[in-house]
Chains A and B, each alone.
Chain A
Amino acid sequence: MNHYRLIIKADDKQVVLERILQVARYRGFLIEGINARVNTGTNIGTIELMVRSERPISFLVDQINKLIDIKDVKVDTNPTQ
């Protein structure tokens, strides 16, 4: 089982967090932790998502990137720190 940490930047729009969680679950990634906050000045949300899966993280990154309100997805290559 591989562990990953994603840093996601998203517009602060309705249900964006639910969309990310739904995609993660559906694509076969178990959520181990989540931390989300919004910069009220820019209306940009930052979501830190810890997941684990047998599947390559690119599967999830490509799908989250397709969500309309997502601005950027980065993978932390050292999630155990």
Chain B
Amino acid sequence: MASEKIHTGGSLLFDVLQQHGVEHVFGYPGGAIMPIYDALYDSDIKHFLCRHEQGAAFSAVGYARAAGKVGVCFATSGPGATNLITGLADALADSIPIVAITGQVPTSVMGSDAFQEIDVFGLSLACTKHSFQVTDINDLEKVLHQAFAIALEGRQGPVLVDIPKDVQIANIVSKGNIVSTLKNKVNLPPANVGSAIAMLCHAKQPVLYVGGGVGMANAVDELRNFIDITNVPSVSTLKGLGAITPENENYLGMLGMHGTKAANLAVQESDLLVVVGARFDDRVTGKLDDFAPNAKVIHFDIDTAEINKRRVADSAILGDLKTNLPALAIPLEIRDWQQRCQQMKADFGWDYNHPGNTIFAPAVLKEVSEKMPKNTCVTTDVGQHQMWAAQHMSFDDPSNFLTSGGMGTMGFGLPAAIGAQVSRPTDCVVAVSGDGSIMMNIQELATIKRFQLPVKIVLIDNAKLGMVRQWQDLFFQGRLSETDLSDNPDFVMLANAFEIKAKQISCKEEVSAAIEEMLEHDGPYLLQVKIDAADNVWPLVPPNTANDKMMEST
């Protein structure tokens, strides 16, 4: 039975958020969103004041990814709204369900270049799954419910709701209880499972190529059951890490530009790729025409637009992975191929021998991974440290590794860790960052301080924009253009200024004790790990090159 209640637009917003189970929001107030922040004053929803709207957006992303819920962020009009845009683009590229609420100037002055007015509705077209601008208070309740339904429907994504100030103030009688869900927007054609099973049965050298869609579909159990039954050799994308049990003997690790040699060679030799929730991203395929040249493709996805977009699928199975994946779970007779893949995995394992006494970042991250508590959530920024984390840390669930995959957004890691810690207060959260990336949202240390979030920050510091420097050395004749960061601030002093305990280490014998001190510390901690600026990420598949032609050293 619907209950009627008189609301302002602002208080109605919080009423609807609570109907959708929202307990936490991230945001930053300003003039055109003041009525909403006034309504927040009376709400039970906890607001986390970030120190930049981009931080709020990434915290919402981290919250959504760590908890499997919709993340919510607020910003005012104009610059507040434009500061959200990068976070929304990141959420769109990685299919993360976000509802972003922006204040807007009053409807009476919209379109007049009013103070702090920007057409965020127009800006949203390229960086959201959908967007609304509510110019009539009578539409607000329905639109807010739709925003949640759209964010979660089919391939998930960010939705923006722009609310002019007069709509936030206007009175309305809530209809109540009109929470709606949507079926997949696109009608999916029936899957030809029989054809796919026949291809799987005939394959001599199949490889399972797992992407972020498995976690998004909440189909990790179904995937692992599929692997247990088929014993198929498997590889993962960056965003798929955690879906496959790391200990599985047939799991070869990440594929692609910085993938393992075993993973890339197995894919190149395969005669069938079973692609699950992945999209043949260019960082995965290398030179597309030479990617898995002898393989047929079975492609599982929820998004029709991903089928045949970059690689033609011989069999497309569209829809919910939880339902579809078990249909292909059959025992396979591929013993010789399994042994070949296992041998490659053994032959091409990681080498942690590193001459000299300078710290080897892969070894540090491996040790952090081995010592961190079970169910730790790791976030990263973007660059060399990100790839080292992907290569050398182990994750037992996709929700335990949050990294900016599609957009590759520096500045992601610290605020994403804040969102993850808010959503999972009893779990350890480790933010792996670089000295370039961390400066992009360094102000969020203030958010960590304010809420005393016990985030552990592992700062891999080479005083460089390391990945760009690596490419300049390898592909631009060593012309190191604008990649020197040797004038960075003293990160220990900087963390201390935010009342965050911090330590710098620079030689190997300091590593183990420092990691233990960090993990045992009851509160936020920043561990600055000085490394050799010349260290590179290996292997590396050069641009426009087949994945089996990776570089393994200079």
Contacts and interface: CB of A to CB of B under 8 A. Distances in A.
A43 B155 CA distance: 27
Interface of B is mostly: mixed
Interface string A15-54: 1001100100010000000000000000000000000000
B185 A62 contact: no
Interface of A is mostly: helix
A66 B126 CA distance: 13
Given A14-B121, A26-B126, A62 B133 contact: no
Interface stretch (B39-47, B56-64, B300-308, B494-502): B300-308
A63 B305 contact: yes
B190 interface: no
Interface string B134-175: 000000000000000010001100000000000000000000
A62 B185 CA distance: 12
B130 interface: yes
Interface in B102-129: 121-122, 125-126, 129
B309 interface: yes
B304 A62 contact: yes
B408 to A, nearest CB: 18
A63 B304 CA distance: 9
Nearest to B303: A66
Contacts of B309: 59, 62
Given A65-B186, A68-B150, A14 B133 contact: yes
Contacts, number: 37
A66 B155 CA distance: 10
A15 B122 contact: yes
A68 B133 CA distance: 15
A15 B304 CA distance: 24
B16 to A, nearest CB: 18
A40 B149 CA distance: 27
Contacts of B304: 62, 65-66
Nearest to B131: A15
B125 A22 contact: yes
A47 to B, nearest CB: 16
A19 B133 CA distance: 14
B132 interface: yes
A66 B121 contact: no
Contacts of B132: 14
A46 B122 CA distance: 21
A46 B305 CA distance: 22
Q: Please indicate which of the listed interface residues A58, A59, A66, A67 has the most CB atoms of chain B within 10 Å of its own CB.
A: A66
Nearest to B155: A66
Nearest to B150: A68
B185 A18 contact: no
Nearest to A13: B132
Given A14-B132, A14-B133, A59-B309, A66 B125 contact: no
Interface of A: 14-15, 18-19, 22, 26, 58-59, 62-63, 65-68
15 contacts: A14-B121, A15-B125, A15-B131, A18-B125, A19-B125, A59-B309, A62-B304, A65-B185, A66-B154, A66-B155, A66-B185, A67-B130, A68-B129, A68-B130, A68-B185
Given A65-B305, A66-B154, 5 more contacts: A14-B133, A15-B125, A62-B304, A63-B305, A67-B130
